[in-house]
Amino acid sequence: MTAIKSHLPAVELEHRYKTASEAIAKSHFHALWLLARGYSIDQVAGLLSFSTRWVRILIKRYNEGGPERLGDQRAHNGTEPKILTPEALAALRERLTSPPDDGGQWTGPKIARWLADFHGLASVHDQRGWDALIAIGWSIQQPRPRHPQAASEHDRSRLKKTAASRRR
């Protein structure tokens, strides 16, 4: 059995593994829960498709920093957003109240071009436009053009199956 510090009991590791909403944290807690139950590093690596080196890194991370060091650590890499800044997202919310300059609907690429203009950049990758829409909770969804019940009686009768149409 590999020695992991008892920051959390095995029951809590299992609970965090089963309730984690983030996939990376879920797999990290799963690995540690298996280790706490007595599985070897090789067994855990084989079960979870990790390398033994990665399992050792997880153990070291957990032993040194506890459960806070598990999961996706990219959010703590010390950088600030450069494109999707709070100012840009606030300005985008305001800009979306009117149609785009070329007409039509707002799309990810149109938002990306707007973000490039906002920041004075030559271009911004189209994906950042979609990311910006998600960040502000905006949806491009539209209602259906017409409800099916809006058809006239004549149109409905034309679409009904009849015995004559079935024989053909």
Q: Is 120 left (phi over 0), alpha (psi -120 to 50) or beta?
A: left
Q: Judging by beta carbons within 10 Å of its beta carbon (0-12, 13-18, 19+), is residue 33 exposed, middle or buried?
A: buried
* 3 state SS of 70: coil
Distance of alpha carbon 51 from alpha carbon 63, whole angstroms: 19
Give SS3 for 87: helix
Q: Tokens 């100012």 correspond to what residue?
A: 87
Mapped onto helix, strand or coil, the DSSP state of residue 22 is coil
- Give the per-residue pLDDT at 41: 94
4-56 tens-digit pLDDT: 877 778 888 888 889 988 888 899 989 999 999 999 999 999 999 999 999 99
Give the chain's domains with CATH numbers: 10-76 (1.10.10), 86-135 (no CATH)
Say what the pTM is: 0.50
